[in-house]
Amino acid sequence: MNKKNNKKPTFLFIGRNSTDGIFSKKNKKLLSDPLDDNNPITVQVLGICSALAITVQLKPAVVMTASVIFVMACSNVIISILRNLIPNRIRIIVFLVVISSLVALVDQFLKAYAYDVSKELSIFIGLIVTNCIVMGRLEAYALGNSVWKSFLDGIGNAIGYGVILILVAFFRELLGSGNLWGMQVVPDFLYESWYVNNGLMLLSPMALITVGIIIWIQRSFNKKLIEKG
Protein backbone atom coordinates (compact mmCIF):
# COMPACT_ATOMS: atom_id res chain seq x y z
CA MET A 1 0.00 0.00 0.00
CA ASN A 2 1.17 3.52 -0.72
CA LYS A 3 1.95 5.07 2.63
CA LYS A 4 2.19 8.60 1.28
CA ASN A 5 -1.39 8.48 0.17
CA ASN A 6 -2.52 7.27 3.53
CA LYS A 7 -1.11 10.26 5.33
CA LYS A 8 -3.27 12.59 3.29
CA PRO A 9 -6.75 11.10 3.54
CA THR A 10 -9.33 12.40 1.11
CA PHE A 11 -11.93 12.61 3.83
CA LEU A 12 -15.06 14.03 2.19
CA PHE A 13 -13.06 16.49 0.12
CA ILE A 14 -14.52 15.99 -3.26
CA GLY A 15 -11.92 15.70 -5.95
CA ARG A 16 -9.18 17.34 -3.85
CA ASN A 17 -6.58 14.77 -4.61
CA SER A 18 -7.66 14.19 -8.14
CA THR A 19 -6.91 16.62 -10.90
CA ASP A 20 -10.22 16.26 -12.70
CA GLY A 21 -13.39 18.27 -12.10
CA ILE A 22 -16.64 17.10 -10.63
CA PHE A 23 -18.09 16.01 -13.95
CA SER A 24 -14.94 15.24 -15.86
CA LYS A 25 -14.94 12.73 -18.66
CA LYS A 26 -13.59 10.11 -16.28
CA ASN A 27 -16.32 10.71 -13.76
CA LYS A 28 -19.03 10.69 -16.37
CA LYS A 29 -17.75 7.33 -17.47
CA LEU A 30 -18.37 6.04 -13.94
CA LEU A 31 -22.02 6.78 -14.50
CA SER A 32 -22.35 5.62 -18.09
CA ASP A 33 -20.16 2.52 -18.01
CA PRO A 34 -22.47 0.39 -15.86
CA LEU A 35 -25.38 1.25 -18.12
CA ASP A 36 -23.93 -0.56 -21.11
CA ASP A 37 -20.30 -1.73 -21.34
CA ASN A 38 -20.11 -2.95 -17.78
CA ASN A 39 -23.73 -3.55 -16.83
CA PRO A 40 -23.94 -5.45 -13.55
CA ILE A 41 -26.74 -7.74 -14.76
CA THR A 42 -26.14 -8.30 -18.46
CA VAL A 43 -22.33 -8.20 -18.50
CA GLN A 44 -21.21 -9.18 -15.02
CA VAL A 45 -24.32 -11.33 -14.45
CA LEU A 46 -24.67 -10.25 -10.81
CA GLY A 47 -27.87 -9.64 -8.89
CA ILE A 48 -29.80 -12.12 -11.01
CA CYS A 49 -31.76 -13.44 -8.03
CA SER A 50 -33.68 -10.24 -7.47
CA ALA A 51 -34.05 -9.77 -11.22
CA LEU A 52 -36.06 -13.00 -11.21
CA ALA A 53 -38.04 -12.36 -8.08
CA ILE A 54 -39.51 -8.89 -8.39
CA THR A 55 -39.92 -8.38 -12.11
CA VAL A 56 -43.44 -9.78 -12.42
CA GLN A 57 -44.83 -6.27 -12.22
CA LEU A 58 -43.44 -2.88 -13.09
CA LYS A 59 -44.25 -1.10 -9.84
CA PRO A 60 -42.24 -3.24 -7.41
CA ALA A 61 -39.35 -3.22 -9.90
CA VAL A 62 -39.29 0.57 -9.87
CA VAL A 63 -39.48 0.74 -6.08
CA MET A 64 -36.75 -1.86 -5.84
CA THR A 65 -34.60 0.19 -8.22
CA ALA A 66 -35.13 3.32 -6.13
CA SER A 67 -34.25 1.44 -2.95
CA VAL A 68 -31.13 -0.06 -4.48
CA ILE A 69 -30.01 3.36 -5.79
CA PHE A 70 -30.37 4.76 -2.28
CA VAL A 71 -28.62 1.84 -0.59
CA MET A 72 -25.75 1.68 -3.10
CA ALA A 73 -25.10 5.43 -3.18
CA CYS A 74 -25.13 5.68 0.61
CA SER A 75 -23.12 2.55 1.31
CA ASN A 76 -20.51 3.48 -1.30
CA VAL A 77 -20.16 6.95 0.22
CA ILE A 78 -19.98 5.66 3.79
CA ILE A 79 -17.41 2.99 3.00
CA SER A 80 -15.39 5.46 0.95
CA ILE A 81 -15.36 7.93 3.86
CA LEU A 82 -14.27 5.20 6.25
CA ARG A 83 -11.91 3.46 3.84
CA ASN A 84 -8.79 4.60 5.67
CA LEU A 85 -10.22 3.62 9.04
CA ILE A 86 -11.73 0.20 8.39
CA PRO A 87 -9.57 -2.62 9.76
CA ASN A 88 -8.70 -4.77 6.79
CA ARG A 89 -9.45 -8.07 8.50
CA ILE A 90 -13.07 -7.30 9.24
CA ARG A 91 -13.89 -5.20 6.20
CA ILE A 92 -16.51 -7.59 4.82
CA ILE A 93 -18.31 -7.56 8.16
CA VAL A 94 -18.24 -3.77 8.16
CA PHE A 95 -19.71 -3.79 4.63
CA LEU A 96 -22.48 -6.08 5.78
CA VAL A 97 -23.30 -3.97 8.82
CA VAL A 98 -23.43 -0.78 6.75
CA ILE A 99 -25.58 -2.33 4.00
CA SER A 100 -27.98 -4.05 6.34
CA SER A 101 -28.48 -0.94 8.46
CA LEU A 102 -29.28 1.06 5.34
CA VAL A 103 -31.69 -1.63 4.22
CA ALA A 104 -33.33 -1.63 7.65
CA LEU A 105 -33.75 2.12 7.31
CA VAL A 106 -35.36 1.79 3.86
CA ASP A 107 -37.65 -0.90 5.22
CA GLN A 108 -38.74 1.24 8.16
CA PHE A 109 -39.45 4.22 5.94
CA LEU A 110 -41.44 2.16 3.46
CA LYS A 111 -43.51 0.68 6.28
CA ALA A 112 -44.34 4.17 7.52
CA TYR A 113 -44.86 6.02 4.25
CA ALA A 114 -45.57 3.40 1.56
CA TYR A 115 -47.22 0.56 3.43
CA ASP A 116 -48.69 -1.19 0.38
CA VAL A 117 -45.40 -1.21 -1.45
CA SER A 118 -43.60 -2.53 1.60
CA LYS A 119 -46.14 -5.35 1.85
CA GLU A 120 -45.69 -6.17 -1.79
CA LEU A 121 -41.92 -6.21 -1.62
CA SER A 122 -41.91 -7.82 1.84
CA ILE A 123 -38.80 -9.97 2.01
CA PHE A 124 -37.20 -8.65 -1.16
CA ILE A 125 -36.25 -5.37 0.53
CA GLY A 126 -34.37 -7.43 3.09
CA LEU A 127 -32.75 -9.33 0.27
CA ILE A 128 -31.00 -6.18 -0.97
CA VAL A 129 -28.46 -7.11 1.71
CA THR A 130 -27.58 -10.20 -0.25
CA ASN A 131 -27.47 -8.39 -3.59
CA CYS A 132 -23.98 -9.17 -4.78
CA ILE A 133 -23.77 -5.92 -6.75
CA VAL A 134 -23.80 -3.81 -3.60
CA MET A 135 -21.15 -5.83 -1.83
CA GLY A 136 -19.13 -6.13 -5.02
CA ARG A 137 -18.94 -2.38 -5.61
CA LEU A 138 -17.91 -1.74 -2.01
CA GLU A 139 -15.05 -4.21 -2.21
CA ALA A 140 -13.99 -3.41 -5.75
CA TYR A 141 -14.48 0.33 -5.85
CA ALA A 142 -15.48 2.27 -2.73
CA LEU A 143 -12.67 0.81 -0.64
CA GLY A 144 -10.05 2.36 -2.91
CA ASN A 145 -11.57 5.52 -4.34
CA SER A 146 -12.59 8.99 -3.26
CA VAL A 147 -16.05 9.83 -1.96
CA TRP A 148 -17.41 11.61 -5.02
CA LYS A 149 -16.21 8.93 -7.40
CA SER A 150 -17.65 6.19 -5.21
CA PHE A 151 -20.94 8.03 -5.09
CA LEU A 152 -21.07 8.19 -8.89
CA ASP A 153 -20.03 4.56 -9.14
CA GLY A 154 -22.81 3.54 -6.75
CA ILE A 155 -25.46 5.53 -8.60
CA GLY A 156 -24.22 4.29 -11.98
CA ASN A 157 -24.28 0.63 -11.03
CA ALA A 158 -27.64 0.89 -9.31
CA ILE A 159 -29.12 2.53 -12.39
CA GLY A 160 -27.51 -0.06 -14.63
CA TYR A 161 -29.15 -2.73 -12.48
CA GLY A 162 -32.46 -0.88 -12.36
CA VAL A 163 -32.70 -0.30 -16.10
CA ILE A 164 -32.54 -4.03 -16.78
CA LEU A 165 -34.93 -4.74 -13.93
CA ILE A 166 -37.50 -2.30 -15.28
CA LEU A 167 -37.03 -3.54 -18.83
CA VAL A 168 -37.62 -7.15 -17.80
CA ALA A 169 -40.59 -6.16 -15.63
CA PHE A 170 -42.07 -4.19 -18.53
CA PHE A 171 -42.15 -7.20 -20.82
CA ARG A 172 -43.21 -9.64 -18.11
CA GLU A 173 -46.13 -7.54 -16.95
CA LEU A 174 -47.19 -6.63 -20.49
CA LEU A 175 -47.07 -10.14 -21.93
CA GLY A 176 -47.87 -12.02 -18.74
CA SER A 177 -50.89 -10.14 -17.44
CA GLY A 178 -51.67 -7.59 -20.16
CA ASN A 179 -51.12 -4.75 -17.69
CA LEU A 180 -48.61 -1.98 -17.16
CA TRP A 181 -48.25 -0.40 -13.72
CA GLY A 182 -51.32 -2.39 -12.68
CA MET A 183 -53.49 -0.93 -15.45
CA GLN A 184 -54.81 -2.91 -18.35
CA VAL A 185 -53.18 -1.95 -21.64
CA VAL A 186 -54.14 -4.85 -23.87
CA PRO A 187 -57.57 -3.84 -25.23
CA ASP A 188 -60.59 -6.01 -24.48
CA PHE A 189 -61.40 -6.77 -28.12
CA LEU A 190 -58.07 -8.56 -28.51
CA TYR A 191 -58.94 -10.86 -25.60
CA GLU A 192 -62.35 -11.48 -27.08
CA SER A 193 -60.99 -12.44 -30.48
CA TRP A 194 -57.84 -14.53 -30.06
CA TYR A 195 -55.33 -13.08 -27.62
CA VAL A 196 -54.42 -14.91 -24.42
CA ASN A 197 -51.99 -13.75 -21.74
CA ASN A 198 -48.84 -15.81 -21.58
CA GLY A 199 -48.91 -17.22 -18.06
CA LEU A 200 -45.38 -18.53 -18.45
CA MET A 201 -44.09 -14.94 -18.43
CA LEU A 202 -45.14 -14.67 -14.80
CA LEU A 203 -42.93 -17.56 -13.72
CA SER A 204 -39.27 -17.04 -12.91
CA PRO A 205 -37.80 -19.05 -15.82
CA MET A 206 -39.09 -16.46 -18.26
CA ALA A 207 -37.25 -13.74 -16.35
CA LEU A 208 -34.01 -15.59 -17.04
CA ILE A 209 -34.92 -16.01 -20.68
CA THR A 210 -35.87 -12.34 -20.96
CA VAL A 211 -32.53 -11.34 -19.42
CA GLY A 212 -30.88 -13.72 -21.89
CA ILE A 213 -32.59 -12.06 -24.83
CA ILE A 214 -31.56 -8.63 -23.56
CA ILE A 215 -27.95 -9.85 -23.30
CA TRP A 216 -28.17 -11.20 -26.85
CA ILE A 217 -29.52 -7.91 -28.24
CA GLN A 218 -26.97 -5.88 -26.29
CA ARG A 219 -24.07 -7.94 -27.53
CA SER A 220 -25.14 -7.79 -31.12
CA PHE A 221 -25.00 -3.99 -30.92
CA ASN A 222 -22.03 -3.47 -28.61
CA LYS A 223 -18.94 -4.85 -30.35
CA LYS A 224 -16.78 -4.34 -27.25
CA LEU A 225 -18.57 -7.14 -25.47
CA ILE A 226 -17.91 -9.82 -28.05
CA GLU A 227 -15.20 -12.19 -26.88
CA LYS A 228 -12.41 -12.86 -29.33
CA GLY A 229 -11.12 -16.28 -30.21
Partner 1 sequence: MNRDSNFYTFLFVGIMIVGIASILAFTSQTLKPMQDENVKNEKMQNILSTVGINVSRDEAEESYKKFITQELALKIDGSINENINPFSDLNLAKELKKDYEDQHFPLYVAEINSEKYYIIELRGTGLWDAIWGYISLKSDFNTVNGVSFDHKGETAGLGAEITKEWFKESFKDEKIFDNEGKLVGITVLKGNNDPNNSDKDDHEVDAISGSTITGDGVTDMIYERINNYLPYLTIINGKVSMR
What does the binding site for partner 1 look like in residue numbers (CB under 8 A)? Answer: 56, 85-90, 93-94, 97-98, 101, 104-105, 108-109, 111-113, 115, 122-123, 202-203
CB of 95 to partner 1, least distance (A): 11
CB of 53 to partner 1, least distance (A): 8
Residue 81: phi and psi, rounded to 5, are -65, -40
Percent helix / strand / coil, the chain, rounded to 5: 70, 0, 25
CB of 219 to partner 1, least distance (A): 31
| Residue placing its CB nearer to partner 1 in the complex, 23 or 191 | 191
| Residue placing its CB nearer to partner 1 in the complex, 140 or 203 | 203
Contact 118, 110 (CB under 8 A): yes
CB of 143 to partner 1, least distance (A): 13
| Residue placing its CB nearer to partner 1 in the complex, 87 or 229 | 87
CA gap 137, 73 in Å, rounded: 10
Sign of CA dihedral 57, 59, 60, 66: positive
| Residue placing its CB nearer to partner 1 in the complex, 52 or 211 | 52
CA gap 92, 98 in Å, rounded: 10
